[in-house]
């Protein structure tokens, strides 16, 4: 291997939403014997609960950790995370671990849809939000109404946010390459679909497509099944494998996130791509 550390960052698909829900354990071979009688107890208002160790074991990073053994693995993904967060957190980790970063494989997810984050001094932290502007990141209700519901929508345009995401991502990837690191990308969806009239007001569609075709797409994981190929992780697990929680639990949990089975299949595809990268 040409790397000594693996660093991951992304959103709920990588983090493993649903993987710590005890009601689904009985549907999967790896979790069916876990004692789920203790109920689901959450850590405050977050999605972290008393079965979080199951999530950490069965999500993408947990499976990569088992595959690569003693290799250090850092996973900074979070549910609802944006690409801006991926870029910021990855830069922070590199700056704080500059020597280690030179021998690191970065597996970075481009989260689905348009999302962003905002630093709120009164909370003393960054807050994630999506185009739905709901309070999933659990900040003070007044601040959420003021900053996220009232202010953010007036300064949020999907097409412009997509362009800003792309520019930030390209800059990060160039920096990783400049220090000698390697990277592999996970595309939730195919980014060409996000180009809009707002986007091409500032950069031509031709140049955006060139950037995607030359920098983003060639470095994205290829998912394969029965002769079909895609670079969209969501298309792969939802359509090729039919491995959502809704399908795998026969509707007991209605959730189109990647199931525990899907995370296993996705990880196998990632490892295959890593082997080709090495």
Using one digit for the tens of pLDDT, what is the confidence trace for 59-79?
999 999 999 998 999 999 999
Whether 1 shows a pLDDT value over 80: the answer reads no
Among 89-93, 125-129, 266-270, the range scoring the smallest mean pLDDT is 125-129
Residue 149 located in a structural domain = no
Residue 180 located in a structural domain = yes
Residue 60 located in a structural domain = yes
pTM: 0.95
Distance CA 77, CA 73 (A): 12
Write down the mean pLDDT value for the chain: 94
Q: The CATH number of the domain where 100 resides is what?
A: 3.40.50.1110
Residue 176 located in a structural domain = yes
Residue 150 located in a structural domain = no
Residue 76's domain spans which residues? 5-114+156-277
The better pLDDT of the pair 110, 70 is held by 110
Going 37 to 39 to 41 to 47, the CA torsion angle's sign is positive
Residue 65 located in a structural domain = yes
Residue 48 located in a structural domain = yes
Residue 223 located in a structural domain = yes
**Residue 89 contacts residue 9 (beta carbons within 8 Å):** yes
Question: Looking at the 3D structure of the chain, how many domains does it have?
Answer: 1
């Amino acid at each position: 291997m040409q790397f000594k550390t693996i660093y991951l960052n992304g959103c709920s698909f990588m983090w493993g939403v649903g993987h710590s829900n005890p009601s689904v354990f009985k549907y999967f071979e790896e979790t069916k014997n876990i004692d789920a009688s203790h109920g689901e107890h959450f850590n405050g208002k977050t999605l972290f609960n008393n079965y979080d160790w199951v999530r950490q074991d069965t999500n993408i990073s947990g499976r990569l950790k088992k595959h690569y053994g003693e290799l250090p693995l850092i996973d900074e993904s979070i549910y609802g995370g944006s690409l801006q967060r991926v870029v910021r957190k990855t830069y922070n980790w590199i700056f704080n671990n500059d020597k280690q970063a030179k021998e690191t494989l970065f597996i970075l997810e481009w989260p689905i849809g348009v999302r962003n984050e905002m630093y709120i001094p009164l909370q003393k932290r960054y807050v994630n939000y999506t185009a739905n502007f709901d309070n999933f990141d659990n900040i003070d209700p007044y601040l959420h109404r003021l900053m996220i519901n009232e202010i953010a929508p007036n300064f949020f345009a999907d097409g412009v946010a997509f362009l800003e995401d792309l520019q930030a991502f390209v800059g990060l990837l160039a920096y990783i390459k400049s220090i000698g690191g390697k990277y592999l990308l996970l595309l939730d969806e195919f980014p060409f679909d996000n180009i809009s009239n707002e986007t091409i007001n500032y950069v031509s569609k031709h140049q955006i497509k060139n950037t995607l075709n030359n920098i983003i797409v060639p470095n994205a994981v290829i998912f394969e099944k029965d002769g079909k190929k895609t670079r969209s992780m969501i298309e792969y697990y939802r359509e090729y494998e039919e491995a959502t929680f809704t399908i795998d639990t026969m509707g007991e949990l209605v959730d189109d996130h990647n199931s525990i089975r899907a995370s296993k299949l996705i990880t196998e595809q990632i490892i295959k791509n890593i082997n080709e990268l090495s």
